[in-house]
């Protein structure tokens, strides 16, 4: 079975540009998570969805960040406009159920560099 698929794997962009990161969760999983990893702040949860509905977006840094999940097999994380401090690795993860007894399956991450 395919794991969580993220694209792009690497993105380099200039400050002010719009960035869209994409995620395809594991088929059948009904919970999806976006995490950000930086040296300074480690792994932070940005937002998570259950059955395509955003449950907790309190980790989203500011209005420049938005996430959508139009269907069970696709999610996007958008940054507009991007800033250098957004440079990080963004991970998408999915889980079979929202219960915290379930393990999260992570994608390989999208490494974003904002110049």
Partner 1 sequence: AQKVTQAQTEISVVEKEDVTLDCVYETRDTTYYLFWYKQPPSGELVFLIRRNSFDEQNEISGRYSWNFQKSTSSFNFTITASQVVDSAVYFCALSEETSGSRLTFGEGTQLTVNP
Per CB under 8 A, residues contacting partner 1 are: 31, 33, 42-43, 45, 48, 50, 55-56, 89, 91, 93, 95, 98-109, 111
Least spacing, CB of residue 86 vs partner 1, in Å: 18
What sign does the dihedral 113-22-110-42 (CA atoms) show? positive
First to last CA, the chain: 36
58 Cβ contact partners less than 8 Å away, ≥ 6 residues apart: none
Looking at the Cβ atoms of 30 and 81, the one nearer to partner 1 is 30
Looking at the Cβ atoms of 37 and 66, the one nearer to partner 1 is 37
Looking at the Cβ atoms of 81 and 96, the one nearer to partner 1 is 96
Measured distance CA(14)–CA(2) in Å, rounded: 32
Token pair of 62 as six digits: 């500011």
Least spacing, CB of residue 88 vs partner 1, in Å: 12
DSSP state of 84: G
Looking at the Cβ atoms of 57 and 81, the one nearer to partner 1 is 57
Least spacing, CB of residue 101 vs partner 1, in Å: 6
């Amino acid at each position: 079975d395919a794991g969580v698929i993220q694209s792009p794997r690497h993105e380099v962009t200039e400050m002010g540009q719009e960035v869209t990161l994409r995620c395809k969760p594991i088929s059948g999983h009904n919970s999806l998570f976006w995490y950000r990893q930086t040296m300074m702040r480690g792994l932070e949860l940005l937002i998570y969805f259950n059955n395509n509905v955003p449950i907790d977006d309190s980790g989203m840094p500011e209005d420049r960040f938005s996430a959508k999940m139009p269907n069970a097999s696709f999610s996007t994380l958008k940054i507009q406009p991007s800033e250098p401090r957004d440079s990080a690795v963004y991970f998408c993860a999915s889980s079979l159920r929202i219960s915290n007894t379930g393990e999260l399956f992570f994608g390989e991450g999208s490494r974003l560099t904002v110049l």
